[in-house]
Structure 1
Amino acid sequence: MRIPSRLIGGAVVAALLTQLTACGTLFFPDRRGQIEGKVDPVIVALDAIGILFYVIPGLIAFGVDFATGAIYLPGGKTAQVDPHTLNKAIAADGKVDKVRLQAILESELGQRLPLNDPRLIQHKGSVEQLAMYGLKPAA
């Protein structure tokens, strides 16, 4: 009879420990340190579920998520690269060399972008857009 009671006790302790931690801090540790922004409704819902089961740990989860900033959605990040630098990625036939473009973006932005990912959606530009950047259209 002792084994089932230990098993139940262990499950209760594990449930309480998971409720003492904040959902946003666990699921999105990269969001910590934000001080404002839009609140993530998924994290709010998960913290609210914690309040339904255990009031005090659920409130602690809300407090921890707000204090660390993990409850906020990440802000939009933008980056710009000089068009003249991007000219180096265009081959003589007018096609973009993905390897060169990836190297330029990695050196300029400090991030490695998967340009050879099959899910990548490529859009064709217009002649006006090319002229705006001082590029000649080539077919």
Structure 2
Amino acid sequence: MHPITVIEIIASSIFIGLLFIVAIFLPRRLRKPGIYIASLLTFLLLMFFAARPYIHDYQFAKKKEYLNQYLINQYPNQNWEITRQIGRQYNRNYLLVNFDNERDWTYAYLVKNKKRICQGAWMPPEGKFPDEGKHYEVKDCEYH
């Protein structure tokens, strides 16, 4: 588990604990609704942390589909593999592409939506420059 996720879970646990403590010390007529509210927020936070990985996987699948269509239009009759970098420190909008005819190169595509896709980074083999790649695209990602 990523350290940021651990911090989020600890902070959420402290928040929920404080809510329960406050609910217990409320006047008798407000205690029961306070505990219900704290329980509801606990349930919602648990659902959030449980569902988040599945939401990220769904978003990756959609962006991979968009990028695949883009690459089919840009590079017909070629094969490639689309992956992503795992970890919270990486931008989820960047997908990595390795073409079969250029295995030692990795191209990172920024995929915002179906119409906004551009090549944003390159990882050439040592001693090569990005513009020497067969699939190097010169586009400005900011205004694409």
Bigger strand share: 2
Larger radius of gyration: 1
Answer yes or no: same fold by TM over 0.5.
no
User: TM-score scaled to structure 2, two decimals?
Assistant: 0.31
- Using CA pairs under 8 Å that are at least 6 residues apart, name the structure with larger relative contact order, 1 or 2: 1
Bigger helix share: 1
